[in-house]
Chains A and B, each alone.
Chain A
Amino acid sequence: MLVRTANPDHSPLGGAVAVLLPGRRSRPFRPGQAMATVEEAAGSVRDYDRLIEAIAARQDREAFAALFGHYAPRVKAFLMRSGTPADLAEELAQETMVTVWRKAALFDAARAGASAWIFAISRNLRIDAARRQRREALHALAEEPEAELAAAPDHDMVAAERQQRVRAALDHLPGEQRRIVELSFFEGRAHGDIAGLLDIPLGTVKSRLRLAMNRMRALLGDLI
C-alpha cells in the first residue's frame, strides 16, 4: 500500500539545508516540530528538479545534500519493500545518490521529473554490478531524445504538473487495478507471484494491468 508520509524526514541535515532551498513555502506550524524539514522546505517537486540542475551546472554540494536528505531514505524504503535487506538497501541508496551526482548532466526535466529519474537509477542499481551496465544500456533507449519533445513547453510548469497529474491518475484507478500497479513496482514482484499472492488467475493480473495502463495513458497522454 502507498503510505503518504506524515513524518518529517529523518534527515541528518535537519533545517540546515532548508534555508538553502529555493521556493520555500510557509506552512502552518505543527506542534512538536521545531525546525522546518527538507521536505517541507522543498515545497514542490519542481525544486528537486532544480537541485539536480544545480549539481549539473556547478557541482553544487548543498543541492546534493538536500536531494540526499529527501531521496536517500526513500530509496532505501523502496528497496526494502522489494525485499532488499536493510544494510544492502542503505548501500544501494547511497550508490543511487552518488550516481545522481555523476549523471546529473544527463538529467532533463522536460522528459522526466526528479523522482522518476531517481527511481530509474535505483532500479538499475538493484541488479548486481557485473550485469548493471549492460542493463542500463537497455533502459537507456527509453531515455534517448525524442524528436517530438524537442519543443518542450515551459518546463518549470511541466515538472510540477506532471508529478501531480501522475499522482492524480494513480488515485483515479480502481483499487484492484492500483493494487496490481503497486505490487509490480513497489514490491518488485513478478506477475505470476502477484497472481499467487492475491489468489487470482495470471490472466486477471494482466488484464487489470492493461486496464490501469490504458486509463493512465488516457489521462496522461498529453504529458508524458
Chain B
Amino acid sequence: MTVAHHPTEATLAAFAAGTLDEGRMLVVAAHLAACPDCRRSVRMLEATGGVMLDDLAPADFAADGLVRAMAQLDAPPAAPVAARRAETIPGLMPAHARLLAPYDLGPWRWVGPGVSWRMVDAPTLPGGRVFLLKATGGTALPDHTHTGTELTCVLTGAFRHEHGRYGPGDIDEADDEVDHTPVVEAGSDCICLVAMQGRLKLNGLLGRVLQPFVRL
C-alpha cells in the first residue's frame, strides 16, 4: 500500500510531543499504521525529546524518592484495558480494527443519500467530534467548507477531490479555507475516520436542502 498524503509536520510534532487531543491522535495513529515514513519521523521527534530531556538541568528531588519508587517495583501492573466491542467493521486493516477496539461507537446514522456516520467516543477538542463517515462507491458528497479544522484518515475505499486521490492510510488535513467536493471511487464503500472541529457548511442547492438535516 502506498500512502500519498501525510499529516503536516506540525501535527506529527504535536503527536510526538503529546499535545494532540486523543481524537486527533487516533486519526494520526491510523495513518501511522499505514505509513513507515511517518513512523520514522515520530521516532526522530521522540529522539529529539530524549535529547532535550537529557540536557535539562535536574530539578530538586525528594530525598526519599528512590526509596518510594523501589517500594513500588514489585506491585502487579494494572490490568490491560479490554476491547469494548466484539463487533468488527468489514474491510478494515487489522491495525485499524485494533485502534478502534477500545472506543464505543454509536449506531450508523443517515446523513444523506449514500452517506452515513457513527460517533466514536474519543475525547477531542472542545466543540469537536470524532466519527466514522461511510459513503457508498460513486457517491458525490455535497460541496462543503468547514467552520473549523478537520483531520481525516481513509480506512477503506478511496475518494478524490481537488487535491488528489485519497486511499487507505491517506490523511486529509483541512481548515476553514478549504472548499472541497469529494467524490467516492466506485467499487467499494469508503470509510473515513474524522476528527472535526466546528461544523460542515454545505454549499450549493443540494447542500442548502440537506443542511437542516445534517448534524455534522
Q: Do A and B bind each other?
A: yes
Contact assessment for A3 and B25 in the assembled complex, using a CB-CB cutoff below 8 Å: no
Contact assessment for B69 and A73 in the assembled complex, using a CB-CB cutoff below 8 Å: no
Q: Beyond A120-B46, A224-B44, is A80–B59 a contact (Cβ under 8 Å)? A: yes
CA distance A93 to B14 in the complex (A): 21
Contact assessment for A90 and B50 in the assembled complex, using a CB-CB cutoff below 8 Å: no
Contact assessment for A141 and B60 in the assembled complex, using a CB-CB cutoff below 8 Å: no
Contact assessment for A206 and B9 in the assembled complex, using a CB-CB cutoff below 8 Å: yes
Whether, in the assembled complex, B99 has its beta carbon less than 8 Å from a beta carbon of chain A, the answer is: yes
Contact assessment for A142 and B39 in the assembled complex, using a CB-CB cutoff below 8 Å: yes
Q: What distance in Å separates the Cβ of B64 from its nearest Cβ neighbour in chain A?
A: 8
Q: Beyond A64-B70, A115-B51, is A77–B56 a contact (Cβ under 8 Å)? A: yes
Q: How many residues from A make CB contacts under 8 Å with B? A: 87
Cβ of B81: which chain A residues have Cβ within 8 Å of it?
133-134, 137
Q: Beyond A2-B55, A5-B56, A115-B53, is A68–B65 a contact (Cβ under 8 Å)? A: yes
CA distance A122 to B59 in the complex (A): 15
Contact assessment for B43 and A123 in the assembled complex, using a CB-CB cutoff below 8 Å: no
Q: Within residues 182 to 197 of chain A, which ones have a CB less than 8 A from any CB in chain B? A: 182, 184-186, 188-191
Whether, in the assembled complex, A127 has its beta carbon less than 8 Å from a beta carbon of chain B, the answer is: yes
Contact assessment for A185 and B59 in the assembled complex, using a CB-CB cutoff below 8 Å: no
**Beta-carbon nearest neighbor of B73 in chain A:** A101
Cβ of A198: which chain B residues have Cβ within 8 Å of it?
none
**Beta-carbon nearest neighbor of A164 in chain B:** B51
Contact assessment for B52 and A73 in the assembled complex, using a CB-CB cutoff below 8 Å: no
Stretch of B26-34, B159-167, B188-196 lying at the A interface: B26-34
Q: Beyond A73-B58, A142-B42, A209-B10, is A216–B48 a contact (Cβ under 8 Å)? A: yes
Q: What distance in Å separates the Cβ of B31 from its nearest Cβ neighbour in chain A?
A: 9
Type the 1/0 row for B1-32, where 1 means its CB is closer than 8 Å to any CB of A.
Answer: 00000001110111011110010011011001
Q: Beyond A135-B25, A210-B8, is A78–B58 a contact (Cβ under 8 Å)? A: no
CA distance A176 to B2 in the complex (A): 34
> Chain B binding site: helix, strand, loop or mixed by DSSP?
helix
User: Looking at A45, A94, A142, A182, which has the most chain B CB atoms within 10 Å of its CB?
Assistant: A142
Contact assessment for A185 and B65 in the assembled complex, using a CB-CB cutoff below 8 Å: no
Q: Beyond A68-B69, A170-B48, is A189–B19 a contact (Cβ under 8 Å)? A: yes
Cβ of B25: which chain A residues have Cβ within 8 Å of it?
135, 138-139
Q: Within residues 112 to 157 of chain B, which ones have a CB less than 8 A from any CB in chain A? A: 122-123
Q: Beyond A80-B59, A97-B69, A188-B18, is A216–B44 a contact (Cβ under 8 Å)? A: yes
Cβ of B216: which chain A residues have Cβ within 8 Å of it?
none
Q: What distance in Å separates the Cβ of B76 from its nearest Cβ neighbour in chain A?
A: 10
Cβ of A213: which chain B residues have Cβ within 8 Å of it?
9, 12-13, 41, 44-45
Whether, in the assembled complex, A10 has its beta carbon less than 8 Å from a beta carbon of chain B, the answer is: yes
Contact assessment for A72 and B48 in the assembled complex, using a CB-CB cutoff below 8 Å: no
Q: What distance in Å separates the Cβ of B94 from its nearest Cβ neighbour in chain A?
A: 12
User: Looking at A68, A141, A210, which has the most chain B CB atoms within 10 Å of its CB?
Assistant: A141
Q: Which residues of A contact B (CB under 8 A)?
A: 2-5, 7, 9-13, 45, 61, 64-65, 68-78, 80-81, 86, 89-90, 93-94, 97-98, 101-102, 111-120, 122-124, 126-127, 131, 133-135, 137-139, 141-142, 146, 148, 162-163, 166-167, 170, 181-182, 184-186, 188-191, 205-206, 209-210, 212-214, 216-217, 220, 224
